[in-house]
Amino acid sequence: MSSIRQQSGSNVPQEKAMSLAKRLHAVVHPSRHTGFDRRRSVSYDRMSRWALRGLYRRVAADVAAVAPQSAMILDIGTGPGRLLHELADRRPDLTLTGVDPSPHMIQVAEQAATSRSLGHRVRFQIADVADLPHPDGSVEVVVSTLSLHHWPDLAAAATELARVLRPGGRLMIYDFRFAPLDQALTVLRSQNAFTPADIGRTPVRAGWYPVTPFARVNASRMPR
């Protein structure tokens, strides 16, 4: 009897993490979401500043720890660009670019950067993950937070990310644990561009969250 109780109880932290992740997702992506127009973009920025700041800080610390000197960092699905603010504070040597498919979100990101006197440090572009306006092999680190679950074509995204990454470059994708991270791993492993031993998934604890609602997919571009 005790072993049965032990086994059922072992899933409680995971269930709590999933529940918290879904509640947090509901905060930053309201129901009946039809796209990030101006109003929703401003609302997302306002909510994410308190709901996601711990995650942004954690991700910025991770990226800052692995980025080479004067590296080019590309933030996919940058939203209001708050992650790049954290990176700018930690690593003034980095070149920081954020892309997002919503022109309204890019406007909010540019205004937020200007308000923090970061307009000269951070650049934003309207672009989709499957069609990036960057030359082949031009980026040392690609990072993404809470964007992958919006990507309609993971295979096309992986091909494009491999294209823009330099040999040896790093891919770091953070999302909710219920996002299609396992499918992303499968797609990345199917690409010859990434080093098989470096492809993996790890839980991510960030900020005040009592459990771990986030996870990270890691990959490295094959060296020459």
Whether residue 216 is predicted with pLDDT greater than 50 in this model: the reply is yes
Given a cut of 70, whether residue 2 has pLDDT beyond it is no
Q: Which range among 27-41, 90-104, 152-166, 190-204 shows the weakest confidence by mean pLDDT? A: 27-41
- Residues 67 and 94: beta-carbon distance below 8 Å: yes
Is the per-residue pLDDT at 204 higher than 80? yes
Contact residues for 16 (Cβ-Cβ < 8 A; gap 6+):
210, 211
Lookup: tokens for 61: 């610390």
If one counts every other C-beta atom within 10 angstroms of the C-beta of residue 34, the result is 7
184 pLDDT exceeds 50?
yes
Distance CA 214, CA 121 (A): 28
The predicted pLDDT at position 213 comes to 86
Tell me the per-residue pLDDT of 147-162, one tens digit each, with 9 for 90 and over: 999 999 999 999 999 9
Report yes or no: 47 and 71 within 8 Å, Cβ to Cβ: no
Is pTM beyond 0.75 here?
Answer: yes
